[in-house]
């Protein structure tokens, strides 16, 4: 639900957080921001996190959850405030405690928590001192003359150097190491955050040497890591801090603290690739830019940006590597309900070179005419196939259909389906049918059906139906546990969700969906759980019978797959006249036949583990 939950527990007792969640009406809180209307056991309205004309945002009071079937946003009342008000988890807890009239006595930190907090403070303090050392070296040290000249040649002004605290790491093995010693700062701690490298028992040397330094800040403007650009032809050209307790490249956006206000003001963010791309744009007055540090956008970075805006414009380099980064970014963007635009620069240009050569107005003109990234990827994918042949068209269809499945809005997906049919010169009905066959799971806003329809689709949907039953009928959880059916799940995501549900149930002897959500490692899994919570098509079914039928379908499917495998091995053994293997495989096959009979007779007890 929120990645900060465990951190908050160090300061606000878990039971107090639960008390506030239970005391607050999530419908009342969200009604302050969204007009909600009651529909069955849920409330619905227009999503506050993306633009839509038809309501796809649902709130459930009893489950204390919200979920948008359009953009995928989901969570509890704390998550809503974090997203809507752009506040931290402790601030959201404090706001709701005040609203409910609940006091927040802080509990003393444990020894382990005090040590962890002290270590983080030490890491931040070391980074702050070293960033200042690098910065002052660039500004005043004779050893940085080449670095100053290089930055001047790249068009970087002294104001930009100061605004972004750029620095220089001297081309020496122990400049920072000796600086840390003079400041009586821990070499061991500095080594743990990647500033220096340990060699032998007690010798250290600097990680960054002879490089222009780009300090990386979090939104609180604390230094969490560094990037270094070599001057000249050395390798690697760019060197970044390793992953540490403070720094994760997948979660970090360079320049976000400086860009946050402009992003909110313009209501869109420009995403570029590198340090100099970002610096040149900011220097040209285009302040709503952030850098993904040379990687395709990750789900964590997208989630961070969505706190400030729903609108992204991607401006990666025009070279092959940049195009591949755009394509890799498309999947997490669509999964997050974001439909970004793409600035296509002339060949050989990047944002840094283009804005310096052509100016800010020309760049902004490119932004204003930016096409959708999806269309770019679509054309690139289609271009890889020969549309002059029927086989080429089939291959092109099969390549683009998985992209369609990532689009969460059904109408948008249908419009793209029509566009693709026309582009490829294929029948729209045939394309729809192929899409149904090729997509393994139903679209997020479609439910599994009920009654006879549901029975007919058990082979395909049994795992998802079991999870819905677990969410809506917690009384069946002991049976799910006893049959160990989760071990037979083929879909790893559904298995992870089911395991989390059982874990929380075993711990609390009741189902707490917010606690389950907090256990799930990925936002996509959290959103999937929320979908199950709001898809109440199993609410009125006989839960025991449906669970029984689903387990039988899963076990039957597994049994048949194993029989096919054994059958192939048996043919091979017979062909090679391996009598020992043949006898063994015949016994296994007979056992599987007997097991199938038991499964078909619904004798679940006989296949409990």
Give CA–CA dist 130/445, Å, rounded: 51
5-100 architecture in CATH?
Alpha-Beta Complex (3.90)
Give span(s): CATH 3.40.1360.10, the chain: 251-376
* pTM across the whole model: 0.58
Compute and round to an integer the Cα radius of gyration of the chain: 28
pLDDT tier at 456, thresholds 50, 70, 90 = very low
pLDDT in the model for residue 539: 64
pLDDT in the model for residue 395: 92
Query: Containing H/E element for 382?
Result: helix 373-383
Helices (H), ranges, 154-251: 158-163, 175-182, 187-192
More confident residue, 192 or 220: 192
Report strand pairing: 196-199 vs 74-75.
unpaired
pLDDT tier at 172, thresholds 50, 70, 90 = very high
What number is the average pLDDT over the span 571-598? 78
Cα angle at 275 between 318 and 334, to 5 degrees? 55
- Are 608 and 548 in contact, with CB atoms under 8 Å apart? no
pLDDT in tens, 235-290: 899 999 999 989 988 889 999 989 988 988 898 999 998 999 999 999 999 999 99
Give CA–CA dist 242/226, Å, rounded: 9
pLDDT in the model for residue 224: 95
**Residue for token digits 């940049």?**
322
pLDDT tier at 196, thresholds 50, 70, 90 = very high
| The CATH number of the domain covering residues in 384-438 | 1.20.50
pLDDT in the model for residue 176: 97
What number is the average pLDDT over the span 333-357? 87
Give CA–CA dist 459/554, Å, rounded: 7
Please give the share of the chain, as a percent, with pLDDT higher than 70.
89
CATH superfamily of the 111-247 domain: DNA primase, catalytic core, N-terminal domain (3.90.980.10)
- Are 257 and 221 in contact, with CB atoms under 8 Å apart? yes
Give the E-state strand segments of 463-516 in sequence order. Answer: none
Give CA–CA dist 238/442, Å, rounded: 43
251-376 architecture in CATH?
3-Layer(aba) Sandwich (3.40)
Interacting residues of 413 by C-beta distance below 8 A, sequence separation 6+: 404, 407, 443
Give span(s): CATH 1.10.860.10, the chain: 451-605
Interacting residues of 212 by C-beta distance below 8 A, sequence separation 6+: 138, 147, 150, 151, 166, 167, 168, 228, 229, 231
Report strand pairing: 37-39 vs 167-169.
unpaired
Does the CA dihedral 68-72-75-78 come out positive or negative?
negative
CATH superfamily of the 451-605 domain: DNAb Helicase; Chain A (1.10.860.10)
Give span(s): CATH 1.20.50, the chain: 384-438
DSSP state of 254: B
Identify whether 236 is preceded by a cis peptide bond (ω within 30 of 0). yes
Say whether pLDDT at 294 is over 80: no
Give span(s): CATH 3.90.980.10, the chain: 111-247
pLDDT in the model for residue 52: 80
Please give the share of the chain, as a percent, with pLDDT higher than 90.
35
**Reduced DSSP (H G I as helix, E B as strand, rest coil) percent helix, strand, coil of the chain, to 5:** 55, 10, 35
pLDDT in tens, 74-101: 889 999 988 887 777 888 888 898 888 8
Interacting residues of 189 by C-beta distance below 8 A, sequence separation 6+: 119, 122, 123, 126
Mean pLDDT across the chain:
84
Give CA–CA dist 579/33, Å, rounded: 74
Neighbouring C-beta atoms of residue 283, cutoff 10 Å: 20
Terminal-to-terminal C-alpha distance of the chain: 33
Say whether pLDDT at 450 is over 50: no
Query: Containing H/E element for 342?
Result: strand 341-342
pLDDT in the model for residue 607: 42
Say whether pLDDT at 162 is over 70: yes
Q: Residue 485 — φ and ψ, nearest 5°?
A: -65, -25
Give CA–CA dist 291/298, Å, rounded: 12
What number is the average pLDDT over the span 44-56? 86
What number is the average pLDDT over the span 456-481? 82
pLDDT tier at 352, thresholds 50, 70, 90 = very high
């Amino acid at each position: 639900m929120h990645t900060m939950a465990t951190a908050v527990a160090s300061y606000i007792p878990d039971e107090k957080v639960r008390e506030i969640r239970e005391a607050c009406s999530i419908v009342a809180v969200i009604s302050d921001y969204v007009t909600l209307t009651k529909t069955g056991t849920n409330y619905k309205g227009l999503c506050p996190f993306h633009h839509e004309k038809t309501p796809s945002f649902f709130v459930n009071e009893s489950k204390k959850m919200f979920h948008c079937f359009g953009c995928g946003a989901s969570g509890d009342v704390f998550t809503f405030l974090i997203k809507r008000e752009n506040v931290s988890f402790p601030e959201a807890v404090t706001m709701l405690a005040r609203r409910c009239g609940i006091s927040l006595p802080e509990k003393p930190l444990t020894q382990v928590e005090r040590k962890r907090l002290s270590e983080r403070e030490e890491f931040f303090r070391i980074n702050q001192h070293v960033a200042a050392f690098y910065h002052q070296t660039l500004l005043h040290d004779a050893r940085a003359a080449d670095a100053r000249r290089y930055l001047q040649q790249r068009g970087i002004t002294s104001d930009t150097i100061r605004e972004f605290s750029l620095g220089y790491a001297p081309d020496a093995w122990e400049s920072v190491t000796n600086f840390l010693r003079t400041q009586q700062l821990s070499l061991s701690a500095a080594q743990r955050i990647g500033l220096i490298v340990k060699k032998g028992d007690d010798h250290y040397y600097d990680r960054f040497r002879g490089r222009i330094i780009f300090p990386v800040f979090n939104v609180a403007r604390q230094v969490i890591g560094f990037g270094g650009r070599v001057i000249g032809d050395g390798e690697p050209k760019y060197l970044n801090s390793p992953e540490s307790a403070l720094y994760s490249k997948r979660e970090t956006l360079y320049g976000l603290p400086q860009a946050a206000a402009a992003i909110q003001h313009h209501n869109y963010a420009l995403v570029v690739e590198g340090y100099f791309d970002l610096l040149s744009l900011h220097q040209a007055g285009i302040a709503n830019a952030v850098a993904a540090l040379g990687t395709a956008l990750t789900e964590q970075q997208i989630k961070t940006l969505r706190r400030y805006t729903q609108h992204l414009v991607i401006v990666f380099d025009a070279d092959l590597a940049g195009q591949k980064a755009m394509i890799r970014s498309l999947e997490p963007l669509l999964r997050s309900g974001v439909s970004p635009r793409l600035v296509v620069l002339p060949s050989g240009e990047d944002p840094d070179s283009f804005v310096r050569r052509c100016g800010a107005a020309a760049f902004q003109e490119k932004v204003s005419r930016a096409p959708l990234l999806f269309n770019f990827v679509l054309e690139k994918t289609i271009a890889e196939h020969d549309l002059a042949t029927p086989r080429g068209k089939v291959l092109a269809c099969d390549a683009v259909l998985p992209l369609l499945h990532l689009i969460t809005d059904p109408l948008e997906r249908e419009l793209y389906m029509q566009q693709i049919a026309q582009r490829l010169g294929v029948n729209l009905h045939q394309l729809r049918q192929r899409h149904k066959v090729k997509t393994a799971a139903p679209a997020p806003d479609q439910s599994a059906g009920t009654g006879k329809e549901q029975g007919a689709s058990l082979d395909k949907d049994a795992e998802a139906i079991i999870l819905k039953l677990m969410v809506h009928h917690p009384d069946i959880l002991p049976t799910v546990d006893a049959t160990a059916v989760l071990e037979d799940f083929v879909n790893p995501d559904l298995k992870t969700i089911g395991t989390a549900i059982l874990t929380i149930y075993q711990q609390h002897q009741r189902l707490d969906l917010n606690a389950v959500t907090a256990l799930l490692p990925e936002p996509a899994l959290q959103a999937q759980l929320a979908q199950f919570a709001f898809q109440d098509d199993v609410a009125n079914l006989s839960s025991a019978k449906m669970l029984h039928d689903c387990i039988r379908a899963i076990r039957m499917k597994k049994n048949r797959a194993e029989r096919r495998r054994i059958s192939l091995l048996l043919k091979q053994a017979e062909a090679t006249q391996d009598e020992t293997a043949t006898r063994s495989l015949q016994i296994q096959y007979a056992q599987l036949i007997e097991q199938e009979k038991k499964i078909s007779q619904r004798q679940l007890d006989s296949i409990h583990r």
